[in-house]
Structure 1
Amino acid sequence: MTKSIFVNLPVADVATATAFYTALGFERNPTFSDDHKASSMVWSDAITVMLLHRDFYATFTDKEIIDAHRQSGALLCLSFDDRATVDAFAKAAMGAGGSELHGAEDHGFMYSRAVADPDGHGWQAMTMDMAAFEAMKAAPAAA
């Protein structure tokens, strides 16, 4: 089996969450999805986000489930090829019921935007120019 990651997120409404992630370019895998408990949303061959209704999510843990609108439980980040795609991802998120966590951040070698899904789970979209990063690392420190 190929190494992969399944990110499990508690959601209040599976249909609403599914519509949001579909608008961002995720594809629903019907084999591991149903209308009430879970929706398997595929980002790539190695990344799947499992949207689990809060009641179903609770069957996997004895811990209290956070309210991601008020608490942070994870920092999730997806990489993209360029700034335009990062901006398009953020625009799609906000158009599908998400919210912007903060404006664009430009660090020269890295550009990012951060959004939250309707349940408050934060996602950062970023692109990185490794040549610019290496040049920055190699530059002498300012006195």
Structure 2
Amino acid sequence: MHRELLPRDLGFEVRPGDEASLFAWFLAAFLFGNRISHAAAARTWQVIVREHGCDTPARLCACSHAQLVRMLGEGGYRRYDESTASRLAQLCRTLLDDYGGGILGVHAAAGDRAEFERRLLEFRGVGPVTLRIFMREAGPALFGEG
């Protein structure tokens, strides 16, 4: 069994009220939540965020489907690249259209942690594994738990 990935493994910390770190971790959780090696998921996150600068929902939404597929492939995320690219675009579009562009918007719309988690699970491609990974680090930042 491998150790669970942490934000610091990717070069950042999740901080309360910090949309950039919350979205970075949500993107990482989204990638790590699929059945793919941790190494490929981490590399893909680095490619998307660090190499291509797609570190916000708006920047990811500005990418074409082909660009998203190419970035996923560069990171080694080839097995699910087409479907993951579609889900990633849809996730970012929902954040922009329904939640003011980010995770803090989801938090503001939700009355409590249970509602927040329910809203995240409504995103296509976000299931229980992705939610668990994300909330492990984001829960304390968003809800003062720890």
Structure with higher RCO (Cα < 8 A, 6+ apart): 2
Shorter-chain TM range is under 0.3
TM-score, normalising length: structure 2? 0.27
TM-score, normalising length: structure 1? 0.27
Higher helix residue share:
2
